[in-house]
Structure 1
Amino acid sequence: MTLKALCEQISRSDPNMLQDDNPIGSRIMCPEYSLHQEDIKTYPLQKKDHIFALCWNITSDKRFYGTIKPSPTSFSYGCSFLPGMRTQLHTHEYLELSYIVSGSFRQSILGTDITFEQGDLCLIDKNCLHQDHLDSNSASILFLGIANDVFEDIMSSHATDDRILSFLQSALLKQKNLLQYLHFKPNANSKGEMEECLSSLLKELILHDEASAIICRGLLMRIFRILSTSYDFSLSKELRKEMSWLLYEEITAYIKENYRDISIRELCSQFHFQEDYFNRILKQKAGMTYIEFVQNLRLIEAERLLTHTDFSIERIADLVGYQNKGYFYRLFTKHHQMTPAKFREKHLKPKEHGVRPHS
Structure 2
Amino acid sequence: MLSDLCQQVTSSDQGLLPADHKLGPRLVCPEYSKSVQEVKTYPLLEQDRIFALCWNIDSAQNLYATMQPAPSPFCYQLPFSSGEKTQLHTHDYIELTYVVEGEFRQRILGKDIIFSKGDLCLIDKNCLHQDYLLDQPAIILFLGIANDMFAEIMDENVTTQKIISFLQSALLKQKDVQQYLHFRPGADATEALEDCLYLLLKELCSNTIGSRYICKGLLLRIFRLLSTTYEFSLSREQRKTMNWIIFEEVSEYIQQHSADITIQQLVDTFHFQEDYFNRLIKAKTGMTYSAYVQKIRLEKAEHLLTTSPKSVEEIADIVGYHNKGYFYKIFQKRYGMPPSQYRKKG
Q: TM-score range by the shorter chain?
A: 0.5 to 0.7
Name 1:3's counterpart in structure 2.
Answer: 2
Gaps of 5+ in 2: 244-346
| Amino acid corresponding to residue 151 of structure 1 in structure 2 | F
CA distance in 1, matches of 2:148, 2:242: 20
Which TM-score applies when normalising by structure 1? 0.65
SS in 1 for 2:233: coil
Name 1:63's counterpart in structure 2.
Answer: 62
| Amino acid corresponding to residue 52 of structure 2 in structure 1 | A
Contact 2:99 2:116 in 1 (8 A): yes
SS in 2 for 1:48: coil
Name 1:53's counterpart in structure 2.
Answer: 52
CA apart distance, 1:243: 9.6
Contact 1:61 1:136 in 2 (8 A): yes
Name 1:168's counterpart in structure 2.
Answer: 168
Comparing 164-173 and 15-24, the one that deviates more: 164-173
Name 2:124's counterpart in structure 1.
Answer: 125
RMSD of Structure 2 on Structure 1 (CA):
1.9
Contact 1:99 1:120 in 2 (8 A): yes
CA distance in 1, matches of 2:109, 2:242: 17
Residues 1:194 and 1:15: Cα distance change in structure 2 (over 3 Å): closer
Aligned residue runs from structure 1 range 99-248, under 5 A: 99-161=98-160, 162-163=162-163, 165-173=165-173, 176-239=175-238
Name 1:33's counterpart in structure 2.
Answer: 32
Name 1:307's counterpart in structure 2.
Answer: none
CA apart distance, 1:172: 2.9
SS in 2 for 1:198: helix
Name 2:342's counterpart in structure 1.
Answer: none
Which TM-score applies when normalising by structure 2? 0.67
CA apart distance, 1:22: 1.3
Contact 1:178 1:242 in 2 (8 A): no
| Amino acid corresponding to residue 114 of structure 1 in structure 2 | I
CA apart distance, 1:153: 2.3
CA distance in 2, matches of 1:217, 1:116: 26
| Amino acid corresponding to residue 168 of structure 1 in structure 2 | Q
Aligned residue runs from structure 1 range 202-351, under 5 A: 202-239=201-238
Q: What whole-Å deviation, never above 9, does each CA across 1:41-77 have from its counterpart, x for those lacking one?
A: 0001000000000000000111100000001333110
Q: What whole-Å deviation, never above 9, does each CA across 1:253-278 have from its counterpart, x for those lacking one?
A: xxxxxxxxxxxxxxxxxxxxxxxxxx
Contact 1:65 1:78 in 2 (8 A): yes
CA apart distance, 1:241: 7.1
Name 1:272's counterpart in structure 2.
Answer: none
Gaps of 5+ in 1: 245-359
SS in 2 for 1:149: helix
CA apart distance, 1:96: 0.2
Percent of residue pairs identical: 53
Comparing 164-173 and 54-63, the one that deviates more: 164-173
Contact 1:28 1:54 in 2 (8 A): yes
